[in-house]
Amino acid sequence: MDKFLSIKEIIPDMQEWSCKVIVQEKQQVTQSLSTPTKKQKFIFVDEQESKVEGIIFNHDIPRVGPLLQVYKKYRISNALVRPIHPKYQTAELKVQWIITSKTVIEQDPDDEDMMPVKFNCTQFPDLAQFMDHRDKSVGMYVVYYTYIMNFNSENLLQDHFALPDVLGIVIEAQDTRIINKDFKESVVQKFVLVNKQSQAVILSMWDDFIRNEGQQIIAELHNYPVIICRRLKVSNYNGVTLSTWFDSAILVDPPVQQARELKNWAMRNTKLLAAIVDQKSYIKYNPDISVKSDQKMTLISNVRPSQKNVWVKARFSFQHIFQKYWYMSCKKCCRGTAAANGVIFMCNTCKEKHPAQPRCRFDMDLCDDSGTITASVFGEQAEKLLTFTAFEIMDHFRQACCPLKY
């Protein structure tokens, strides 16, 4: 077939067609919750920047999936074309190609150096708006359904919200951990992402992402790989944190202009990135990327123990000045330990050997016009409020065993 159609020209139920596409995304193999059906999804893009979803089912996945590699250009012919169910359509993806072992797939010899696509990447401080929303994730289109009942008739209203992608430099990969999640054993590994402003966020990869994209990242870690993350979950844990879920996509060093520019910046600033890794500043809470621009405040009287995260506007005071103000901790994970200061020990939490060191901690009262609540303050924030370092507090406590004098 000599004539190649564009993605937009290929409509549902069309036969005898051929198209040149680049594999923009290759997702993990997933399984439906209610059926044993397995599937693997792809996103193809053509020279006009049009996109289409590709999907492979069941036994065809090991046969055909390895033929399609991310960022490579292919000629695909005569796949079954059908519309995506309206519930799962987005502004970009309305049609689906079903790829089987019968589909004609040929790698195009005229492979291009750059993908004709631009990602709508969000800035790290703007990630806070997506925190802890189950119906929101970065790098996807979210569909909201509202049912309106009127005289036994049902109208379905759909609103599509375009959400951004995340672009960052990977500067560190932590060790994998095995945990129990959703009644089964899972593997998680944390990666540290940095932007040009030296702001850092933690990305947690799970299971297959570690074995695939995670290994690719680790192999290139010395070259500061740049990744574009799509459809991530954003959580509020010591600030903004990111994690993969079943339909996320991690693009490692993608051949797009945005990634190339960030990669060049990283190679020119290797000393700065190495200093961030050495100082481990990313483990500290950073309010610059953790507070929403329209953050709502809660009255103290309305704070409930079941709430995971809550913001209050309050005055603080010390009603209980006879406190220790510090505890001995693991230098890496900051969890408490009985080890003596400076002694290298095996931490039971992070499972690594690190020296014990004092860390500042104290309780104070937060008050507003509605009531009072006790809050615990840790680390650098506690030191700033006390105007003492944890080592100074420890020495003062051991010498006098009395409250600090301000």
Long-range contacts of 251-254 (CB under 8 A, 24+ apart): 251/24, 251/25, 251/70, 251/227, 252/213, 252/216, 252/217, 252/220, 252/225, 252/226, 252/227, 253/220, 253/225, 253/226, 253/227, 254/71, 254/115, 254/226, 254/228
Q: Same domain, yes or no, for 140 and 269?
A: yes
Judge whether 61 and 98 are in contact, CB under 8 Å. no
Is there a domain that residue 61 lies in? yes
The pLDDT of residue 160 is 40
Number of domains in the chain: 3
The CATH number of whichever domain residue 66 belongs to comes to 2.40.50.140
Is there a domain that residue 20 lies in? yes
**Cα distance between residue 65 and residue 58, in whole Å:** 11
The pLDDT of residue 267 is 96
Is there a domain that residue 406 lies in? no
**Cα distance between residue 174 and residue 169, in whole Å:** 15
Q: Same domain, yes or no, for 205 and 354?
A: no
Q: Same domain, yes or no, for 264 and 180?
A: yes
Is there a domain that residue 91 lies in? yes
Domain boundary among 107, 138, 171: 107
**Cα distance between residue 171 and residue 194, in whole Å:** 7
Is there a domain that residue 268 lies in? yes
CA-based nearest residue to 273, from 354, 352, 175, 168: 168
If the chain, 406 residues long, is cut into consecutive pieces of 10 residues, what is the mean pLDDT of each piece? 87 95 94 86 94 96 95 95 91 93 92 80 85 56 35 34 76 90 85 94 93 95 95 82 89 94 96 91 72 74 80 83 90 91 91 92 91 89 89 85 52
CA-based nearest residue to 241, from 289, 173, 299: 289
Q: Same domain, yes or no, for 254 and 306?
A: no
Q: Same domain, yes or no, for 103 and 213?
A: no
Is there a domain that residue 2 lies in? no
Domain boundary among 242, 263, 294: 294
| Residue-wise DSSP of 324-349 | --EEEEETTT--B-SSPTT-EEE-TT
H helices of 40-196, in order, are 60-64
**Cα distance between residue 204 and residue 168, in whole Å:** 14
Q: Same domain, yes or no, for 76 and 220?
A: no
Which amino acid type is present at position 16? E
Q: Same domain, yes or no, for 162 and 25?
A: no
Joined together, the tokens standing for residue 344 give 């290298």
Neighbour tally for 191: CB within 10 Å: 27
Domain housing 281: 118-294
Domain boundary among 274, 294, 314: 294
Q: Same domain, yes or no, for 169 and 275?
A: yes
Q: Same domain, yes or no, for 172 and 282?
A: yes
Which amino acid type is present at position 351? K
Is there a domain that residue 138 lies in? yes
Helix (H/G/I), strand (E/B), else coil: 83: strand
Q: Same domain, yes or no, for 135 and 174?
A: yes
Judge whether 142 and 161 are in contact, CB under 8 Å. yes
CA-based nearest residue to 366, from 300, 295, 291: 300
The pLDDT of residue 262 is 96
Neighbour tally for 282: CB within 10 Å: 20
The pLDDT of residue 183 is 77
Q: Same domain, yes or no, for 192 and 265?
A: yes
Is there a domain that residue 285 lies in? yes
Q: Same domain, yes or no, for 63 and 124?
A: no
Q: Strand 240-243 vs strand 200-206: parallel, antiparallel, or unpaired?
A: parallel
The pLDDT of residue 31 is 86
Give the bridge partners for 235, in sequence order: 241
